[in-house]
Amino acid sequence: MKSNGKKPRRAAKIRVRGKQNPQVTLIHGDGVGPEVIEAAVSVIGATGVDIDWDRQSAGGNAMRRYGTPMPNALMESLARTRVALKGPLETQVGVGYRSINVHLRKAFDLYANLRPTFSFAGVQTPFRDVDLTVVRENTEDLYSGIEHEVAPGVVESVKVITARASTRIAKFAFDYARKMKRKSLTAIHKANIMKLSDGLFLKCARTVAKHYPEIKYNEQIVDAACMRLVTDPQSFDVLLLENLYGDIVSDLCAGLVGGLGLVPGANYGDKGAIFEAVHGTAPDIAGKNVANPIAAILSGSMLLDYLDHEHEGDRIRSAVGTVLRSGKTLTRDLGGRASTTEITDAIVRALART
Ligand code: NAI
């Protein structure tokens, strides 16, 4: 399926939980988080869907306010609502507390990270008609957080891959491909070097693939896959990756379609989901009202799909498509001069016409 040039396709119409819950935990996050999350809240509000937002702090801003990056109130809220719209959370490089993102995904067993990435009419990039979805395993791999010093100057990080997690993420990816009528799925790996861990991941993917004969199953080594992504991105459809490769490759894919400000994401588990943009806190532009809110807004549209408001999710995608296509109100990352609030207002106006 290629982008139709009119509106972003209903990229992530996938619902794992299947029941309505009007109360949603809202996490502003750090850096540009409050700006882009409030933009998403206004656009969702403009659809007429009435969500009871339970506002909670996490990350650096919670650390400064409450002395912990993960207050009890946040965890209690998530345990109750089981669904959240979340801004990015800051994690210091090499020092400081461990990633709250990783912790939340593990704590609520949000094992599947879905990042639909597609070209938008009106956004200038060297690539056209990109339409691929990254499915990333979210709970293990090198993100297991098992690191230790063996001797001074020698450290180990443990890569954990299990058959259980590999099988369930492969099933999720194939179910997604079937539901969305995608044609092919590529498992991306480095099993030529990590024969045991990536070998197990592939073995599980191959076993699951046999139950989906209508979806063409391929495998590719991660380095070659990266090259092909920037030379022939249209040849990819659904990508299945372990945690670390998925993290890296999804940012690369965002670059193909216009940048991190455009690509939404969701973390799904069997009992809950957290919706968040692919991008981080963007400290270089935080607080300046210049961040692109579209990734957060489209993550909001995926939230509406999840809450059984697919029509309203579609209306948001359509409004975003209209604004991008007209090219009049674009943020700096897209070559324009509009502020976060100006593009949000333009999307709200376009929504009123859908
Ligand atoms: P980043 O995604 O925050 O920024 C990378 C580049 O993209 C920057 O130049 C930034 O200005 C630009 N950018 C990002 N979002 C944008 C937007 N909405 N509009 C316009 N430009 C945008 O990645 P970086 O700098 O590596 O990470 C900063 C912090 O974010 C770190 O503490 C990191 O741990 C955290 N992070 C959090 C994530 C999450 O909460 N899910 C995901 C990725 C990073």
Task: Report all structural domains of the chain as residue ranges with CATH numbers, in order of start.
Answer: 1-108+263-354 (3.40.718.10), 126-257 (3.40.718.10)
CB atoms within 10 A of CB 176: 23
Q: Is the shortest distance between the CB of 312 and ligand 1 below 6 Å?
A: no
Cα distance between residue 179 and residue 305, in whole Å: 14
pLDDT at 145: 82
- Asked whether residue 280 carries a pLDDT value surpassing 60, the answer given is yes
Instruction: Tell me the pLDDT tens digit for each residue of 63-93.
Output: 999 999 999 999 999 999 999 999 999 988 8
Q: Is the shortest distance between the CB of 318 and ligand 1 below 6 Å?
A: no
Q: Is the shortest distance between the CB of 279 and ligand 1 below 6 Å?
A: yes
- Asked whether residue 230 carries a pLDDT value surpassing 80, the answer given is yes
Where are the strands (E) in 120-262, listed by range? Answer: 131-137, 147-151, 154-157, 184-189, 216-221, 238-241
Q: Which atom of ligand 1 is nearest to the CA of 90?
A: 32
Atom 25 (ligand 1) nearest CA: 282
- Asked whether residue 150 carries a pLDDT value surpassing 50, the answer given is yes
Q: Is the shortest distance between the CB of 330 and ligand 1 below 6 Å?
A: no
Instruction: Tell me the pLDDT tens digit for each residue of 294-340.
Output: 999 999 999 999 999 999 999 999 999 999 999 999 999 999 999 99
pLDDT at 12: 46
Active-site option among 247, 305, 333, 345:
247
Q: Is 141 a catalytic residue?
A: no
The mean pLDDT of 154-175, rounded to a whole number, is: 97
Q: Is 183 a catalytic residue?
A: no
Q: How is residue 108 written in tokens?
A: 């609520």
Q: Is 247 a catalytic residue?
A: yes
